Amino acid sequence: MGVAIPNASTMNWFQFRGITNELDSNLASTDYRQFTVSKTGEFNFKIADINTNIKIVDQNNKVVAEAKAKNEAAETSAKLGPGTYTAVISQAVRGVNEREYTLDITERQNIMMVGTGAQMKGIARAVVGNDSGVQKHTLTVAQGGEFVGNMSLPYTRWALMSKEGKVVASGDTMDPAKSGEDMLKKPSFKVEPGQYELVIVPPKNVVGEIPYQLNFVQKVAKAPESTEERPFDKIMREREARLKQWAAEDANKSSSTSKTTPYKMSLLA
């Protein structure tokens, strides 16, 4: 029975593990693995082994993604349509044969941010070899504004990058004691409409698979807090109250006097 070909459209994550035990036209030790895509989507390809190259080739033998790991893990991404693709894993150094490798293929989420915010759901996994554990996704901002980021996974960092590689916003949960604080007290950031790269760095000591959420919530202006009354304002307020009281008392006195017999004047003959 042949090995089933994985469908990248039906899995958030899968992994190819094997040995480069064939020689390509350049005499590089190589291995070939196939996968399919049933609906258009964007995917990340990460090779965790140093001095290892990967190419993703479509059914027309066209290279649609490529990465070269030198002294650390390498990653690339591509938007793929329906079809069958081949992952070509080869050693960068000639003469290095039958070497083990690990290739991760993950869904590259395209999160949509509207005026009220956005939500991203992911899974943190234990890192393998020289893999940094970094996860990358796409954030499309349809309506800009001011937002607050809230990550559910402790000891995690995240950053929002522009197309020019500039950090637009960032945050972390390195202090779990602050994870439950009021959202409105957390630092906010402003973002304009456009497309950004969302970079997430989970902790490396993850055991198994841990789901997490990253929520972007619209910043809501707080109602102004009541301030303590100044001594001068208190004096003026009390003075005004006394004046009103005295005026009322004088009005009552005038009203009661008007009901008595008026004083009669006599003219002398």
Q: Mind listing the pLDDT tens digit for each residue in 52-87?
A: 999 999 999 999 999 998 888 788 999 999 999 999
Regarding predicted confidence, which is higher, 30 or 131? 30
Please tell me the total count of domains within the chain.
2
**Are residue 128 and residue 64 in the same domain, yes or no?**
no
| Model pLDDT, residue 36 | 95
Full residue range of the structural domain in which residue 98 is found = 8-107
Going by their DSSP bridges, the two strands 117-125 and 135-141 should be labelled as unpaired
Do residues 212 and 116 share a domain?
yes
Q: Is 18 exposed, middle or buried (0-12, 13-18, 19+ CB in 10 A)?
A: middle
Among 134-138, 199-203, 217-221, where is mean pLDDT lowest? 217-221
Residue 242 falls within a domain, yes or no? no
CB hemisphere CA count around 267 (13 angstroms) = 1
Q: What CA–CA distance (Å, rounded) separates 235 from 238?
A: 5
Helix segments in 50-187, DSSP class H: none
pLDDT of residue 69: 86
Find out whether 3 and 36 touch, Cβ atoms under 8 Å. Answer: no
Of 51, 82, 107, which one is at a domain's C-terminal end?
Answer: 107
Q: Of the candidates 128, 164, 149, which has an alpha carbon nearest to the alpha carbon of residue 200?
A: 149
Domain boundary among 49, 83, 107: 107
Residue where one domain finishes, among candidates 107, 126, 155:
107
For the chain, how long is the longest CA-to-CA vector? 148
Tens digits of per-residue pLDDT, 137-190?
A: 999 999 889 999 999 999 999 999 998 999 999 999 998 777 666 666 778 899
Segment 227-254, tens digit of pLDDT: 566 676 677 677 778 777 777 776 666 5
Residue 36 lies in a domain: yes
Same domain, 100 and 143: no
pLDDT at 147: 93
Residue 263 covered by a domain:
no
Average confidence (pLDDT) over 18-26:
88
Where does the chain have alpha helices with state H?
Answer: 231-257
- pLDDT band at 13; cut points 50, 70, 90: confident
Query: For residue 109, what is the enclosing H or E element?
Result: none
pLDDT digits (tens, 9 = 90+) for 85-132: 999 999 988 878 888 999 999 989 899 999 889 999 988 988 766 677
Is residue 232 in a domain? no
Residues 41 and 77 in one domain: yes
Question: For residue 137, is it within any domain?
Answer: yes
